[in-house]
Amino acid sequence: MESSVLIVSFGSQYVQLIARKVRELGVYSEIVSPDIEIEEIIAKKPCALIFSGGPYSVYEENAPKLDKRVYELGIPILGICYGHQLIAYEFGGIVEKSDKHEYGKAYLDFKPSDFFKNIPQHTVVWMSHADKVYTLPKDFESIGFSDNSENAVIKHKHLPIYGVQFHLEVYHTEYGKEMLSNFLFDIAKCQPNWNMKSFKEHKIEEIREMVGDKKVICAISGGVDSAVAAVLTHKAIGDRLTCIFVDHGLLRKNESKEVISNLTKLGLNIVALDRSNLFLEKLKNVEDPEQKRKIIGNTFIEIFEEEAKKYNAEFLLQGTLYPDLVESAGIHGSAKIKSHHNVGGLPEKMNLKLLEPLRELFKDEVRALGLELGLPKDMVYRHPFPGPGLAIRIIGDVKEEDLNILREADAIFIEELKKWDLYDKTWQAFAVLLPIKSVGVMGDNRTYEKVLALRAVDSQDGMTAEPSKLPYEFLEHVMRRIIQEVKGINRVIYDISSKPPATIEWE
């Protein structure tokens, strides 16, 4: 990839949005730690650097900072919020706590500049800061102002270094994407050469170089992530890839047969293993969701390491995505939310080397890559399904009886979504069996049975999500079918939580 942007993460909750916005403009972006060595920055040859926001104050003793030599490289730099304040502070300006904190909508006026090309005066921007730049350093000038920030946008007079106090990466900033575009193309002279065709070609070569003449086994689930990873790797190394599908007993109704049939049609070498008894035995009496994920992750690895010996494989291919890394605290500044079985759920020591060609991508980018690789549309747009399967959709202990109840209820929900032409309009939908019972009445009899939650969300990449506004008539219809057809459930609820504060999955 000839043109790329390094985004230095100082712990902002919006750092992923910055990465997405840059990629949407056709430039590859990579998130790095402020601990990155100056030599590594030089080696990566970025067309620009972007400093993210963060929860710190630049004048704090342990506030994260970069090697100051970064400002001598001649690479265009854009600082956002904390990054803006850091630039001013490092060049000798004064940053202090503001008398008036600024959160939410503000109006920006500005001087003529390439940064504001084709942007109207008094434009809406989104602020979120307690500190501000009071005194500019030498050789800097202010080119943008809000009611509370006289230095809302600053630039170096002689170097391509800019800082903005607001968050141009959020959609609340009306012309944020245009400002970012102006910085990338008019100021930094980046080239918009990031697309799935170039990524595919780059990754195929990278996989060939990494694997050499060795063999690879793939942990394949039938979901779009592992399927895309497998097809991509198959194009790179051909028959030296063996895909292993493990039925861990935690799949949805009829899923095993459907997955094997779909994957075989892709021309992949598929080995199917039924290890449901092994997984269910290990999960017996386990209620903690983190422990479930760890057990499932470790058991998968044990199976794959045993299978690898049969095929003389040295690499394990997984469909790990960027959101998996974020939620498993795989990048600087992100707090651990939960372990993903293919990231935080892995044992510390493994005999296999990991191959994760999709780890820089968001879900929508993986789907675009899938279409580029020729995967069928229904497979590419299949709803995400977690590696631990129904184990994390049964809250508490996983029992065979509860798995059967959940399978039937979930199948009804998905079937009706498709009938009502709602499946492709939601990003992910599923049922969750709760560890509570409620009193009900069926006929003339009292019942005391389980409660089922339905969950459907709209999202672009899984990093944030809003509850799908499904028609009430649809929800009522699904509720009646589930209660009438699935023995063991007498109450159905609909989860309307967004992410954040909730996660998409319940566990």
Per the CB < 8 A criterion, the answer to whether 4 and 44 are in contact is yes
Q: Given 84, 129, 156, 169, which residue is catalytic?
A: 169
Question: Is 209 marked active-site?
Answer: no
DSSP string, 168-182: TTSTTSTTHHHHHHI
- Residue 193: both structure tokens together: 């050469």
- Residue 433: both structure tokens together: 């069996």
Classified as helix, coil or strand, 442 is strand
| Beta-bridge partner residues of 126 | 105
For the four alpha carbons of 495, 499, 504 and 507, in that order, the dihedral sign comes to negative
Question: Is 81 marked active-site?
Answer: yes
Q: How far apart, in whole angstroms, are the C-alpha atoms of residue 3 and residue 258?
A: 41
Classified as helix, coil or strand, 440 is strand
Integer-rounded Cα radius of gyration of the chain: 25
Q: Given 81, 190, 218, 243, which residue is catalytic?
A: 81
Q: Given 84, 156, 167, 248, which residue is catalytic?
A: 167
SS (H, E, C) 75-102: CCEEEECHHHHHHHHHCCCEEEEEEEEE
Question: Is 167 marked active-site?
Answer: yes
Q: How far apart, in whole angstroms, are the C-alpha atoms of residue 474 and residue 489?
A: 18
The separation between the first and the last C-alpha atoms of the chain, rounded to the nearest angstrom, is: 37
332: Cα within 13 Å, side-chain hemisphere: 17
159: Cα within 13 Å, side-chain hemisphere: 19
Cis preceding-peptide flag for 501 (omega within 30 of 0): yes
| Sequence-separated (6 or more) residues with CB below 8 Å from residue 196 | 365, 368, 369, 371, 372
Catalytic residues: 81, 167, 169
